[in-house]
Structure 1
């Protein structure tokens, strides 16, 4: 029995302390459990020794459970079950022992059972055990232990009010164990219930009160530094949660153990920063910086100060702190890994600043990047972001520089990397950044920078995804510099390459053709565009279009010097597949070249083809119609020329000039031009030209006498031209009345036409009167008839005198001569006839003598008149220059030569024998000159015209046709051919129409 009591006493003590057996080896522990289990099984239920054995076994199983759990935790369990069976065994032994131990030991067993139930997750049973202990124990210390356990359970359940009350009971028990822990937990209860100040006060009390400065009673009165550091750290945390106050840093610093003072104030600063208390956190970080001896600590403080000042918009202070932080980094042995937070802080300071200036970086931000790179030369991401920031500020050279540095870092990391996935990531990053460098260099508009960035890509890129594109850009730069010879070949190589995107290949192809176009190398342009049309089906039409244009350009170059070669080159042009614009150019060239080569028929065909183009502009249509008119003219097809000309605008001509041109074509086409001439008369304000047109209308009129009156108003300022018109009408109609009416319009006019009209009228009157006189005979039937006929003769002679006076007044040589000759001859004839009249019947000799005397006296004036007239006639014949004058006048006035010839012929009839032949010959010569000979035959005219059509620019052909047209008296054609001949003679390029 004594032995059993000793065992029970020892077991009870160890169950409470649980220290000595914790050091028992597993093997010894297992042996003890086996032996005691055998002992327990051998003891009767009522055996007094059984209680001790049960408690000993329970303690051993509880300890083994603890050890197994610790091992399992150390092994990293996720669902931890080790020790559960031993705890169950221990609880079963404690439960049986509970009924057998002395009352003084019951509370201890209940406490141990409560702990085991908690470990088993049986909170209800644990709580019952602790409450049972409170009911069974009279020891304040044991009751405090139970209350502490119940408080811990309530704390874990977040029942902070209950926990707080139970912790208070523990603190109220003098000498209770773990009062430091209870005070600590009670403070946290206050915090969890929102009583921040109370929590802080309670934690400060722990730091001040030596009785509370350790968790366990065994350390009572001895400060547990680690516990105090934990308390001060929580104080800092709760101060921050409450909101940092100005005195918090000082209070915390003064209460915290020496070795953790800066650490805990730093915690306060960090928490304040984390919770967004920027102004207070800034003050605390400054507090830390002022007292921190460790360079790394000062570094962290400056980093935080920089960020907080920046957040508070204290930019100058922020930048100063940032610069100080960078300087401190160099004074430490920090690496990015060892001082990760400070490194991140410095980095984040710049990154955050960058975010605020994402649209345009300030010079200060770019300087911050510059200073950062002096310290952190291997941060490729910062280089990238810095380059992006520089780009927003337009500082593209700086952006390019930082991009290049980033590329070097990335490539170095790629080369050092062994992990396949990581290498791939670095390769992708490098690819992206190399392309960014090219982009920034392009924006910098610096050829050297761009070339360097492109070189970097081609030499550093791992993936080379855009190598083809970059090569294209390099070549494009050559193109832009104007080295088209080099660029063209390189671009063609890219275009025909099997690498690269099809889009870039096409761009290279198009640019190579541009280079050739600038070089005016149309031969290669034609060949290359043909190749490209074969390779790039989607752009076939475009390249064929270029090919077509190159043919047209080659044609244009050859046109002046080698028109035949130009026409041959143009034969490869595919008109059916060409664009409307190119086809029009082709047809224009075809027209011009065929015209140059005198292939008028081919030119006319090309002109018709051009006119059938549906997209002709007004200007192009005018060109085509103009050529159609000209080619029709060359083939003397004036009907076609007229029809085409009627469709033309003739923008270089006035409306009046257009009407004249159309009238000309109408005349040449044997069509009535009256409509166009009349339009001209209505529109024109040129009186002189209008008179000429009116004359032409009269000339073309089928009823010229009528139209002479119709168009008379247009001659109001040109009486001489009106007289000429009248002469032409008279020439066609022999209507003397026409000349008589015009003569009345003479007024003061003294033109040749009026002189000619007066001459014709006078000559006609002389001829008419001469005929009348010549046919008049004296009637001698009886005295009555004699008297009447004498009177009639006298009247006629008086008219002759008057006519002579008119001729003298007119001053016309022939009219005077003929009139005077008529006066002389007829007066003398009258004198002789009068004296030869028979005597009146029944007269005495005296009466006969008187009759003769009277008759002689009456006719004597006629004799005198005849004598004087004859003398005057002789004077006229004595003038030897008269005939020459007439010849000259006829030569210079061929339109009136007919009348001159008639006048000379009349003069020749009365001429002395010595002059008669000369005058007669002159008359014949003049008549011959005015076309008295026969007109050319239709066959002769047609032959000349055919020759002219075949040789439109041959001067001899023109002259031959002109001569025949003159003989045919085709006035309009004569004028047209004269114009052609004049144009041919003055043209610098004989085959071009002027």
Structure 2
């Protein structure tokens, strides 16, 4: 600005204060000598005025040099030169009383500049006004008016500034008229008078006297200044709204070396401001005038997009084609002509987006033309292929997909960065699969085979290679080539890289192919392999195997029960004695049971029970088999009815009650009567507590019933606490849990630990939310005091809770409590120190106030620091995460509580541990989701499978998994017992 130039102005007698020939040391020495001279002169000495002016000039110049050095050194808060300016102002002020009136105006001007540099704008303005009052020189007055105008301009007082700039412009020979005219135009622009601002800038470009900023260059064009003026004129024109002829006017008035630059700016500004039609004309003007091929390329790219936006599709396509041709005629690269490349790409992408639902032939042509120039743009290949597929041009889609795959694979192969290489591989995988998907939609077998071959050849991860190979083999099967497909399907079924579901499909299809070929020997062999590999389908494959065995040969004798049953079928009961008939029926029951023909066995049991001559033991045997077979059929109502008729001579009365209670539960009948009899008669306190827990579990009022059953837990309070946790999990009754916690006594059972943890974390969550929401009302000192008192009270409560957590010894309770203590004490400390100062304090009192305030909240800062240190120490225990994983796995019944705890920890965990804790929370949630109740259809299907395969462990396990999810604990316990019995039977068989 002008004032910076005037700072160099010297009021001394012919010696330039800013002369660069003087070194700093010489300058300092001169100041020292003149200062001594000044001190030795009497106030009334006539020579004192000149010495004062010289000293003021030297201090002002040294201040300028120090400031320039500080700026060059990169200062942020720049203070150099302040002392010298202050001294200079002091000398100038005294000199005003001693110099001739003709010199006073220049002193006022210099003082105004110094005041401005100090930020003392009011004094600066007074100095410039004093200069106006003390000077009769139009040129000096113009300098004062320019300085006042610049101050008004910086304060956005454009009306005042424009009046002052007008006075400068009206003064013939005034310095910096070019700057005044330029600022005057900006004032018009800022006040909304666009036409005036443009006209004023045009005046500068037309008038040689205004074509430089400074008076020293008057009449000589300043190229940099004219560049700014013409560029601003382009900006003003665009802001006003482009008119016909603007481009021509700007082009004509702009200096030759800037013409194309500014006309391009005009066109760009029009685009930026959304003036599409004028922008199109401006870019056409640029294109017509431009000799640089790259610039013409940019113009055509812009014109293509503008024409497209204006729905001039044919013109847009033409400009797009011209731009592509221009690209080929230049040395453009993606880096050197980045914006044009982006524009060409965006043109096609935008067109594609507009026609997303129904791509036109013209769009596909645009893609094709684009690929002729940019043959390595894999993303565009992908998008073009998708557009072609939507347009049912599947052959074209396949071609572009294949090109995309080729480019991506090449980049992936050449990539050295592991992360980028992985990203490229994933991108390739996705596009290869997309190619298969499009080929499938085409219903063109040749395209599908080509896409599948492309995947198998190019996929890096081979993630879906098994699936793709299965699709190809399935196509062979569908064509009727069963011999070939059977072998390939078996290979896929046994391929460890395959997905389980498709492996099983392949296995089943391979057996179907063999069945069509009537190859029973291989059916037996393969089914056995599949039964061994696929445990979840073992029953199905064993059935296939069994059928193939039955078609080949029959089993005989004791080792061949099927043949034995065939032989037994020849027995005629009506012609036999009662004793023989009973033996026949018992053998028939046992043989059918042995070959898992449970229905036939049940029929035989009913036949046996109808025999009138059964002994009590035989009847007990029959009823026992009836109960067992009903169990195998999961018909617990029948099992209960039969069991009620049995004596169970090997069981005690209490055991019989438990067995009947179990069958009642399994039959969905009320077992309370049997359990009550057990509780009444049993002396086994441990089992009584378990039964009481079961009754609470079945209760519709669990809180009430648990409290009523408290006496049963007197010797097993840990089980009582676990039962309480089960109740709390369903009721969320925190008051109930607090009552249970009081029963803890000296018990350190894990369930009581969990209860205490739940209570602490629940209270901590509530209290931390309350403290975090609290703010101090700074309306006045009374509200501040009340707010601080309330906060201190809250923090005291928080400390009490933290001490409780510490006393519990629980890792997460301590960590979470200390984390809140640290954060809230630090927040309180910072809030207190930022409170407003009481009114009316002196600076000394303010300092004392801050000291006292700091001392009062220093304990909070110390508390925060110590708590934060302890929190870091807790997080430093790297085994904590593994401990939680183990705990969650071993105590899944508490997943709900563990998950809430882990989520709270994840929320405050350090960044390097946050992901691990969040992942653990997700694992617990997912495991909990995995236990959601199954559908009735899913459960019935598994039960049907179990009924059909009652001695198959996998069938029992399948139902067991679903019953666990359904949270039917009685059924779970029953199935676990049945599975254990089956294992014992299998072991016994293996030892024979």
TM-score normalized by structure 2? 0.51
**CA positional deviation for 1:302:** 1.3
Other structure's SS at 1:341 match: helix
Q: Distance in 2 between matches of 1:158 and 1:424?
A: 56
Q: Distance in 1 between matches of 2:557 and 2:107?
A: 120
**CA positional deviation for 1:519:** 4.4
Counterpart residue number, 2:685: none
CA contact (8 A) 2:359 2:390 kept: yes
Counterpart residue number, 2:38: 43
**CA positional deviation for 1:454:** 4.1
CA contact (8 A) 1:16 1:108 kept: no
CA contact (8 A) 1:548 1:574 kept: no
Counterpart residue number, 2:543: 548
Change (3 A) 1:356 1:227: same
Q: Distance in 2 between matches of 1:88 and 1:420?
A: 63
CA contact (8 A) 2:492 2:503 kept: yes
Q: 2:216 aligns with which of 209, 218, 228?
A: 218
CA contact (8 A) 1:289 1:298 kept: yes
Q: How does 1:573-722 map to 2 (within 5 A)?
A: none
**CA positional deviation for 1:256:** 1.7
Deviations 1:259-304 (A, max 9, x none): 3223322222211111111112112222222222221222111111
Counterpart residue number, 2:192: 194
Counterpart residue number, 1:299: 297
Q: Distance in 2 between matches of 1:551 and 1:418?
A: 56
Deviations 1:618-647 (A, max 9, x none): xxxxxxxxxxxxxxxxxxxxxxxxxxxxxx
Q: 1:29 aligns with which of 18, 24, 32?
A: 24
Deviations 1:642-661 (A, max 9, x none): xxxxxxxxxxxxxxxxxxxx
Counterpart residue number, 1:60: 61
Counterpart residue number, 1:962: none
**CA positional deviation for 1:498:** 4.1
Q: Distance in 2 between matches of 1:574 and 1:454?
A: 51
Deviations 1:361-392 (A, max 9, x none): 11111110110011111222212221221121
- Residue 233, structure 1, aligned to residue 231, structure 2: yes
Counterpart residue number, 2:406: 408
**CA positional deviation for 1:134:** 2.7
Q: 1:256 aligns with which of 254, 257, 280?
A: 254
**CA positional deviation for 1:325:** 1.0
Deviations 1:469-523 (A, max 9, x none): 4454455455555554454444444444444544444454455445445544454
Change (3 A) 1:359 1:11: closer
Q: Distance in 2 between matches of 1:18 and 1:434?
A: 83
CA contact (8 A) 1:40 1:53 kept: no
Q: Distance in 2 between matches of 1:171 and 1:447?
A: 84
Bigger Rg, structure 1 or 2: 1
Count of aligned pairs between the two proteins: 571
Change (3 A) 1:181 1:519: farther
CA contact (8 A) 2:230 2:250 kept: yes
Q: 1:372 aligns with which of 370, 373, 392?
A: 370
Change (3 A) 1:485 1:239: same
Q: How does 1:9-28 map to 2 (within 5 A)?
A: 12-13=9-10, 21=18, 23-24=20-21, 28=23
Q: Distance in 2 between matches of 1:490 and 1:291?
A: 70
Other structure's SS at 1:43 match: helix
CA contact (8 A) 1:526 1:546 kept: no
CA contact (8 A) 2:528 2:545 kept: no
- Residue 183, structure 1, aligned to residue 178, structure 2: no
CA contact (8 A) 1:151 1:166 kept: yes
Q: How does 1:727-766 map to 2 (within 5 A)?
A: none
Counterpart residue number, 1:332: 330
Q: Distance in 2 between matches of 1:462 and 1:417?
A: 13
Change (3 A) 1:278 1:573: farther
Q: Distance in 1 between matches of 2:571 and 2:250?
A: 114
Counterpart residue number, 2:245: 247
**CA positional deviation for 1:205:** 1.6
Q: Distance in 2 between matches of 1:227 and 1:574?
A: 111
**CA positional deviation for 1:465:** 4.1
Q: Distance in 2 between matches of 1:213 and 1:574?
A: 117
**CA positional deviation for 1:202:** 1.3
Q: 2:381 aligns with which of 380, 383, 389?
A: 383
CA contact (8 A) 2:67 2:78 kept: no
CA contact (8 A) 2:270 2:276 kept: yes
Q: Distance in 1 between matches of 2:232 and 2:51?
A: 49
Q: Distance in 1 between matches of 2:130 and 2:258?
A: 43
Deviations 1:764-806 (A, max 9, x none): xxxxxxxxxxxxxxxxxxxxxxxxxxxxxxxxxxxxxxxxxxx
Change (3 A) 1:554 1:170: farther
CA contact (8 A) 1:551 1:572 kept: no
Change (3 A) 1:387 1:10: closer
Change (3 A) 1:498 1:598: closer
**CA positional deviation for 1:571:** 13
Change (3 A) 1:503 1:295: same
Other structure's SS at 1:335 match: coil
CA contact (8 A) 2:7 2:60 kept: no
Change (3 A) 1:397 1:177: same
Change (3 A) 1:63 1:441: same
CA contact (8 A) 1:236 1:252 kept: yes
Gaps of 5+ in 2: 1-5, 576-583, 593-992
Q: Distance in 1 between matches of 2:218 and 2:560?
A: 113
Q: Distance in 2 between matches of 1:573 and 1:212?
A: 119
Q: Distance in 2 between matches of 1:572 and 1:357?
A: 74
Deviations 1:649-705 (A, max 9, x none): xxxxxxxxxxxxxxxxxxxxxxxxxxxxxxxxxxxxxxxxxxxxxxxxxxxxxxxxx
Q: Distance in 2 between matches of 1:487 and 1:15?
A: 108
Change (3 A) 1:127 1:381: farther
Deviations 1:421-462 (A, max 9, x none): 444443443333333333333334444544444454445444
Change (3 A) 1:450 1:594: same
**CA positional deviation for 1:50:** 3.2
Other structure's SS at 1:13 match: coil
Change (3 A) 1:512 1:104: farther
CA contact (8 A) 2:71 2:78 kept: no
CA contact (8 A) 2:324 2:373 kept: yes
TM-score normalized by structure 1? 0.51
Q: 2:269 aligns with which of 268, 271, 280?
A: 271
CA contact (8 A) 1:51 1:101 kept: no
Deviations 1:132-156 (A, max 9, x none): 3333333222222222222222222
Counterpart residue number, 2:318: 320
Q: Distance in 2 between matches of 1:24 and 1:516?
A: 107
Q: Distance in 2 between matches of 1:269 and 1:16?
A: 55
Change (3 A) 1:53 1:256: closer
Q: Which moved more, 1:186-195 or 1:499-508?
A: 499-508
Counterpart residue number, 1:280: 278
Q: Distance in 1 between matches of 2:102 and 2:321?
A: 72
Q: 1:396 aligns with which of 390, 394, 406?
A: 394
Change (3 A) 1:392 1:316: same
CA contact (8 A) 1:210 1:222 kept: yes
Other structure's SS at 2:73 match: helix
**CA positional deviation for 1:399:** 2.1
Q: Which moved more, 1:527-536 or 1:103-112?
A: 527-536
**CA positional deviation for 1:103:** 3.6
Q: 1:106 aligns with which of 104, 110, 115?
A: 104
**CA positional deviation for 1:176:** 1.4
Q: Distance in 1 between matches of 2:473 and 2:305?
A: 48
**CA positional deviation for 1:411:** 3.5
Q: Distance in 2 between matches of 1:118 and 1:10?
A: 11
Change (3 A) 1:143 1:355: same
